[in-house]
Amino acid sequence: MKAAWRGQIALVAALPIFVLLLAFASGVLAQVSSIDEIEAELMRRVLPGASSFEPAESILPIYAGYAGSEPELVGYAFFTPDLPPEEIGYSAPIDMLVGMNTEGTVTGLEIVHYTESYKSIRGDFINTEGFPQQFSGMEISEGFRVGRNVDGISRATITAWAVARGIRNAARRVSLISPFRIKRVRQCLYCKVCEHSCPTGAIEGPKIDFKECVRCDDCESKLIHQAGRWKKSAQGSGIRN
């Protein structure tokens, strides 16, 4: 009898602790959910054409953005700290969220966090001067050079360079994944080499279903091989490019 009473007393004593742990866990889960919502909102800002996001099927820690009721890939969103090495500003790295479409064009930029010493004097000087907006529409093949195709920040040249190089380098790393390298041109309507070589059926004429693409690169290798045959045939017949 005493043992039973002791068990009940222990259970009653442990109940408040259990309730506190449950409340703490619920708070943590709610916090994680809110963080996800905040990230999704930021991603929609940098990739305006996308309505939903999910982790991309890539070795890189990036997010794929989709649009439409039948989701179509419109681009990627990525945090620069996830694609090291980071560019160092005057005091520390500048963490950014970048959006880029499937053609390799920057669609938006959000400065997530930075600790430049100049911030204590001028406040959020990177965002207040409208500096980030100029990167939208820039191609990753451009130089991103402050003083040339990028306007700098007054008295914060090192910071401006760190932002510009950080965007350029991270975007170029993302562009190395296969869908960016598979370029579609007018001849794709009748060439069909890529379409016939695709093992997953992801290619149909000039269109690529990136959700079905497994990045095998069979299309590119077959196309390069076929292009070599065409070139040799043209040279043998006396046809010039």
Tokens of residue 160, six digits: 């401006």
The HSE-up count of residue 89 (CA atoms within 13 Å, CB side) is 24
Whether 211 and 191 share a structural domain: yes
Whether 216 and 125 share a structural domain: no
Listed in sequence order, the residues at least 6 apart from 141 whose beta carbon sits closer than 8 Å to its beta carbon are: 104
Residue 77 lies inside a defined structural domain of this protein: yes
Whether 147 and 226 share a structural domain: no
Helix-strand-coil split of the chain, %, nearest 5: 45, 15, 35
What number is the average pLDDT over the span 203-223?
73
Residue 42 lies inside a defined structural domain of this protein: no
DSSP, collapsed to helix, strand or coil, labels residue 21 as: helix
Is 177 within 8 Å of 60 (Cβ atoms)?
yes
Q: What's this model's pTM, rounded to 2 decimal places?
A: 0.64
Confidence category of residue 237, pLDDT binned at 50, 70, 90:
very low
The model's pLDDT over 114-135, given as tens digits with 9 standing for 90+, comes to 999 988 888 999 998 789 999 9
Residue 179 lies inside a defined structural domain of this protein: no
Which residue bears the tokens 């079905």? 212
Residue 89 lies inside a defined structural domain of this protein: yes
Number of domains in the chain: 2
Last residue in a domain, options 174, 192, 221: 174
What number is the average pLDDT over the span 88-109?
94
Whether 214 and 162 share a structural domain: no
Range of 226's domain?
Answer: 184-236
Residue 39 lies inside a defined structural domain of this protein: no
